[in-house]
Homo-oligomer: A and B are copies of this chain.
Amino acid sequence: MELSERKKKVLRSVVDLYIRTAEPVGSKAVAELPDMNYSSATIRNEMAELTTLGYLEQPHTSAGRVPSASGYRLYVDELMLDYRLSIDETKSINSAIEEKMQRIDKMVENVAKLVSQATNLPAISAASRQGGGSVTRFDLILAGRGSVILVLMLSGDQVVNKLIKLPISITESDLKVLCAVLNAAMTGLVLEEFTPELMDRVMRSAGAAANLVPVIVDFTTEALRGMAATNVSVAGQSKLLGLPEYRDVEKAQRVLSSIDEDAFSNLPAVMQGANGTKVLVGPENVADELKDTSVVMTKFDIGDGLQGMIGVVGPTRMDYAKVTARLSYFAESLSKMFAKPEQPQLEEGKHEEN
């Protein structure tokens, strides 16, 4: 059943007010709104009906009304007015992205931080690859006494490397042979195709440098696994504590620790189908601890089969309009950033160990 225009207006006002104040809103408060030309009594009647329809709830007789989950749902789907980002906001988002994205190996982490700052709520960011990658090219560099640098070029123009130290020394020509064998036998293979038999075969034809093969295969499979793995980061958890609904420490802790954990490693799955921004209101969340909490998420494209996702966690009474606007803008900016090759430089690799 379709609500009357006035009912919609009242519902929207109630949600808006509740978002602002975090306190149950009464008929009087709504009636006093600038463009509300009815008396509090009329509003009262409308609110009573909205309550029986299930869009509003009252904590107790004679408190104001609070939006119910379906109230929020309706608000998000139909009622909420688009929030227009100010020039300042877009500017600050852009410059934040520019500044922080240079070292992309921390991309996920940084994005989470930025989103959290922009929304003043805890934020999640994740990147995951659809389907497994493969090695495009093997290179081996002799780096002085017993050291060999293995350089893998992976599908999606990603490059990783590893320094291998050997007890024995090895000649340049041995490496050349091995390198050729590797490129012939192992390029284009996905993770599952790295069988023990394959390794045996490669080792037999690898000549003098055969003892390098196991290390190389190990690292290669690990790199492919790493490509497939989902990278998740959470930032700004403490922002939650500033909100009145989390004055209850128990609750705050439940929510925080459920975000803290790697509970989100399968979250990108939720995003699979949906396009654009998705809003999960309170009980729509699967996790029990989040029944009282809303999540707003958006996908963005990193290109090369990489899927990015950013999201925000907050009270059911969160400023959906503003949050969705900011999130979408973020996603858009990020997608754009990854789409354009900017400089002649495109790929970069960095890593350290012991």
16 interchain pairs, CB-CB under 8 A: A105-B353, A107-B353, A149-B159, A158-B163, A158-B352, A159-B162, A161-B161, A161-B348, A162-B350, A163-B346, A163-B349, A235-B260, A241-B249, A242-B253, A348-B351, A348-B353
- Give chain B nearest CB distance to A111 CB in angstroms: 13
Chain B residues with Cβ below 8 Å from A246 are: 249
Contact of A354 (CB < 8 Å), options: B149, B167, B219, B347:
B347
Contact with A105, one of B256, B257, B345, B351 (Cβ below 8 angstroms)? B351
A168 to B: closest C-beta gap in Å: 9
Cβ-neighbour of A249 out of B104, B226, B247, B260 (below 8 A): B247
Q: Nearest 10 A-B pairs (CB), nearest first?
A: A163-B347, A238-B256, A161-B349, A349-B351, A104-B353, A241-B253, A350-B351, A162-B348, A160-B350, A348-B353
A7 at interface by CB-CB < 8 Å:
no
Per the 8 Å Cβ criterion, residues 236-251 of A in contact with B are 236-238, 241-242, 246-247, 249
A223 lies within 8 A of chain B by Cβ: yes
- Given A260-B238, A348-B219, A351-B350, decide whether A163 and B157 contact each other with a Cβ distance below 8 A: yes
Binary contact track A308-343/B, C-beta < 8 Å → 1, others 0: 000000000000000000000000000000100101
Distance in angstroms from A171 CB to nearest chain B CB is 17
Asked if A198 lies at the interface with its beta carbon under 8 angstroms from chain B, I say no
Copies of this chain in its oligomeric complex: 2
Please give me the residue from chain B that is nearest to A154 by CB atom: B352
Q: Which residues of B contact A348 (CB under 8 A)?
A: 161-163, 219, 351, 353
A256 to chain B, nearest CB (A): 4
Q: Which residues of B contact A344 (CB under 8 A)?
A: 164-167, 215
Q: Is the CB of A226 within 8 A of B303?
A: no
CA distance A105 to B347 in the complex (A): 18
Q: In this complex, which of A218, A247, A344 has the most chain B Cβ atoms within 10 angstroms of its Cβ?
A: A344
The complex places the Cα of A81 from the Cα of B252 at a distance, in Å, of 35
**From A251, which residue of chain B is reached at the shortest CB distance?**
B241
- Is residue A41 within 8 Å, beta carbon to beta carbon, of the partner chain? no
Is A141 in the interface zone, CB < 8 Å from B?
yes
Q: Which one of A103, A166, A246 has the highest number of Cβ atoms from chain B below 10 Å of its Cβ?
A: A103
